[in-house]
Amino acid sequence: MLLRHQGYWTTPSFKVELTKEDKRRIGRPSSPRWELDLIAYKPSVNEILAIECKSLLDSTGVVFRNGRFEPEKHYKLFSEKLLRSVVLKRLVRQLKQTGSCIDIPKVRLCLASGKIAGKTDRDGLISHFERNDWKLFDPEWVFQKLSEAAKKGYENDVAFIVSKLLLRNKELLKKYYGD
């Protein structure tokens, strides 16, 4: 919903159809289709976002230290260059074949996270994303976009309704969660 408000078409749980050769190249010959948590396409700028979502709300959160994610195995597309290249190229081919995007789209890997760990090197994480031309949708970004959405007219969308309930009832938030 937050990306739709910015002009993106979105599809959750998108399955990227890897070929047998693709699977061999990435060292996963028996792997099923690669699933992306969310893809978003903005026709006006011909941009595809491949978004990995990590809520981690009741855990430590996303950990990034010494220039990498911890544990790396939970962030495969961010940690494995060959895997990322194969999956994102196949994603573009698949979308083009179905007429879902036009030629030569810009593809950006994104991380949407509900919580960033306190022990994370936040500046390092942001620099790492900027160097790789990736997007980070951190809790601050989510809150900002939910706040903007809460000011708009009604939409029949659960996230939209929740944003309105929470942000319009700040006194209840303070009552239960403090300042």
Q: What pLDDT digit, counting tens, does each position of 103-118 carry?
A: 999 999 999 998 999 9
Q: Which domains does the chain have, with CATH numbers?
A: 4-137 (3.40.1350), 149-179 (no CATH)
Q: Do 147 and 163 contact (CB within 8 A), yes or no?
A: yes
Q: Which two tokens stand for residue 131?
A: 């160097």
Q: Of 75-79, 94-98, 117-121, where does mean pLDDT reach its minimum?
A: 117-121
Residue 152 has pLDDT above 90, yes or no: no
For position 113, what pLDDT does the model report?
A: 94
∠ Cα 85 1 136 (to 5°): 40
For position 179, what pLDDT does the model report?
A: 65
CA gap 125, 141 in Å, rounded: 15
Mean pLDDT score across all residues of the chain: 91
Residue 81 has pLDDT above 90, yes or no: yes
SS3 121: coil
Distances (CA, A) of 37 to 49, 148, 178: 11, 23, 33
Residue 132 has pLDDT above 90, yes or no: yes
Q: What is the pTM of this model?
A: 0.88
Amino acid identity at 44: S
Q: Do 151 and 126 contact (CB within 8 A), yes or no?
A: no
Q: What is the mean pLDDT of residues 14-40?
A: 95
